Amino acid sequence: MEKVIIFDTTLRDGEQSPGASLNTKQKLEIAHQLSALGVDVFEAGFPASSPGDFEAVSLIAKKVKGPIICGLARALRKDIDICFNAIKHSKKRRIHTFLATSPIHMKYKLKLTPNEVLRRAVDAVKYAKSKTFDVEFSPEDAARSESDFLCRVVEAVIDAGATTVNIPDTVGYSIPSEFGELIARLFARVPNINKAVISVHCHNDLGLAVANSLAAVMNGARQVECTINGLGERAGNASLEEIVMCLRTRKKFFNLSTGIKTTEISKTSKLVSSLTGMIIQPNKAIVGNNAFAHEAGIHQHGVLARSSTYEIMTPQSIGLKASSLVLGKHSGRHAFEKKLRELGIRLTPGEFEKAFKDFKTLADKKKDIYDEDIESIIEDELSQSGEKRMYELENIFISSGTGMKPVARIKLKKGNKSFSAEASGDGPVDSSYKAVDKIISQKFKLIDYSVKSISIGKDAVGEAMIRLNYKGKTFFGRGTSTDVIEASVKAYLSAINKVLRK
């Protein structure tokens, strides 16, 4: 069976989602998980875009084994140099260079003639090829490019040494039959097309990214660029889990396979969601909370009699399992270490000590500890690690109830100094956020707030995610606790710490 190469761009296009920025440590964690998931290639970042991106791509190239590590570069020699310097530490590396080919981009953005674009594309590919063998070229906005010109560019960059040519629907404008025809036309008209892998990269502005990618695959594309949970610019990219599960569930129809270990999908999706703060809608295909939930009685009856009546794939196939009770107050270091290994979590000795201490604190508050609780302890660490914490919550006291004015008294720590404040608002969260604002002497605009339980039971750990706006920029914060008000304050502080670091 022929294989479709899965190229993940969560760490590059995905990270371009507004408010989804990740620090280096978090990117490295996601990169390790993408390797466990079995992606063939992943784009680790855009090294020339910032020193932070360069640092993250270099670290990933040094540490992550398995997939090809790709870096993005504009079709400029200086970008290609920076990109190569970041990925050179990996034995399996790729430079992905791009230049727009649509009339609107060439005229208004690049201010270049088609011939100049063609020359620059060829020069960039040749230059990248002088650095490394594996070179990908993308004619940006290919779906709106003029057909003859696109064919000329594809032929020329393959002659120049591109091993993969990626056809992006940059603005998510295409319709599946039309996009499929575009790929078929390239195969019919570009004489050297079989010397490169043809890839696609579809955006989801009309909700058609997955359908367009699959239409391309049916017409010969053998690489799909996609992201976990469909993250990406604006409405996002084609979702990796949807592409992969579609090819797997309809194997007989497509007669194509992927190298993805599908049982890692759920874990990868949760990790990306909690580190980026991009919440997954409950009815999202494959990884939404309701994707395998059967509400109607008639459906439940059918599924109990035989799951295939209403389930076209099993929850187990994406790695979903019933919450398992794992540890409790009396579990020791050995049991905790064994559980981390089972969950595929790698920690340094220092991180292990911190996580074990947090686990013991949680076990004092909560009788039963589930896999999800352990994962949340680790994610909590990750969402703040690698960054200096400015303010930390020392303690909180709330009085609130029917018919009384809520009051929050908060004590924060910064270095070895403590600060306290009291405030009253229209509820316990509002009061505590006002108390925090008093201490920090700044006002932040809260634009999004959500709280959900991580595991099961009334004593479950609550996870709060917030977004706030400060001077036109969005900052994400996450906090967990068995007390949802405490979780909410931690989330608020985690976002404020990011603002203050900036």
Binding residues (CB under 5 A) for Zn ion: these are: 13
Please report how close the Cβ of residue 168 comes to ligand KIV at its closest, in angstroms. 3
* 328 three-class SS: coil
Which of 426, 434, 484 has its CA nearest to residue 458?
A: 484
Query: What is residue 461's DSSP assignment?
Result: P
215-248 residues labelled b (16+ CB within 10 A) or e (exposed): bbbebebbbbbbbbbbbbbeebbbbbbbbbbbbb
Considering only 53, 140, 155, 463, the residue that binds ligand KIV (CB under 6 A) is 140
Nearer to ligand KIV, 156 or 484 (CB): 156
Please report how close the Cβ of residue 499 comes to ligand KIV at its closest, in angstroms. 28
Considering only 10, 21, 26, 138, the residue that binds ligand KIV (CB under 6 A) is 138
Nearer to ligand KIV, 167 or 499 (CB): 167
Integer Cα distance of 437 and 497 in angstroms: 12
Please report how close the Cβ of residue 13 comes to Zn ion at its closest, in angstroms. 4
* Residue list 72-101, contact with ligand KIV (CB under 6 A): 98
Please report how close the Cβ of residue 284 comes to ligand KIV at its closest, in angstroms. 21
Nearer to ligand KIV, 7 or 359 (CB): 7
Integer Cα distance of 272 and 270 in angstroms: 5
Integer Cα distance of 132 and 130 in angstroms: 6
Nearer to ligand KIV, 29 or 169 (CB): 169
* Residue list 222-281, contact with ligand KIV (CB under 6 A): none
Nearer to ligand KIV, 79 or 242 (CB): 79
Please report how close the Cβ of residue 209 comes to ligand KIV at its closest, in angstroms. 10
Please report how close the Cβ of residue 222 comes to ligand KIV at its closest, in angstroms. 17
Please report how close the Cβ of residue 139 comes to Zn ion at its closest, in angstroms. 13
E strand map for 67-163: 68-74, 93-100, 135-140
Q: With binding defined as CB under 6 A, does residue 492 bind ligand KIV?
A: no
* Residue list 184-203, contact with ligand KIV (CB under 6 A): 201, 203
Considering only 168, 428, 462, 479, the residue that binds ligand KIV (CB under 6 A) is 168
Give the dihedral of Cα atoms 345, 351, 352, 357; nearest 10 deg. Answer: -120
Degrees, nearest 5: CA angle 199-258-170: 30
Residue bearing tokens 């076209």: 312
Integer Cα distance of 54 and 499 in angstroms: 22
* Residue list 381-440, contact with ligand KIV (CB under 6 A): none
What is the secondary structure of 359-393 as a DSSP string?
A: HHHHHHH-S-EEHHHHHHHHHHHHHHTTS----EE
Integer Cα distance of 195 and 125 in angstroms: 15
Contact 75, 118 (CB under 8 A): no
Please report how close the Cβ of residue 227 comes to Zn ion at its closest, in angstroms. 9
Output the six-digit token pair for 122: 């060829």
* Residue list 4-33, contact with ligand KIV (CB under 6 A): 13
* Residue list 147-166, contact with ligand KIV (CB under 6 A): 166
Nearer to ligand KIV, 98 or 391 (CB): 98
Query: What is residue 237's DSSP assignment?
Result: B
- Burial of residue 257 (CB within 10 Å: 0-12, 13-18, 19+) is middle
Which of 7, 2, 40 has its CA nearest to residue 202?
A: 7
Residue 138 interacts with, from Zn ion, ligand KIV, none (CB under 5-8 Å by kind): ligand KIV
# chain residues binding ligand KIV, by CB under 6 A: 9
Nearer to ligand KIV, 90 or 170 (CB): 170
Please report how close the Cβ of residue 212 comes to ligand KIV at its closest, in angstroms. 12
Please report how close the Cβ of residue 50 comes to ligand KIV at its closest, in angstroms. 16
Considering only 35, 170, 219, 223, the residue that binds ligand KIV (CB under 6 A) is 170
Nearer to ligand KIV, 164 or 276 (CB): 164
Give the dihedral of Cα atoms 216, 35, 232, 388; nearest 10 deg. Answer: -170
Nearer to ligand KIV, 201 or 339 (CB): 201
Nearer to ligand KIV, 138 or 455 (CB): 138
Task: Provide CB contacts within 8 A for 322, sequence distance 6+.
Answer: none
Please report how close the Cβ of residue 83 comes to ligand KIV at its closest, in angstroms. 12
Integer Cα distance of 238 and 219 in angstroms: 17
List residues binding ligand KIV (CB under 6 A).
Answer: 13, 98, 138, 140, 166, 168, 170, 201, 203
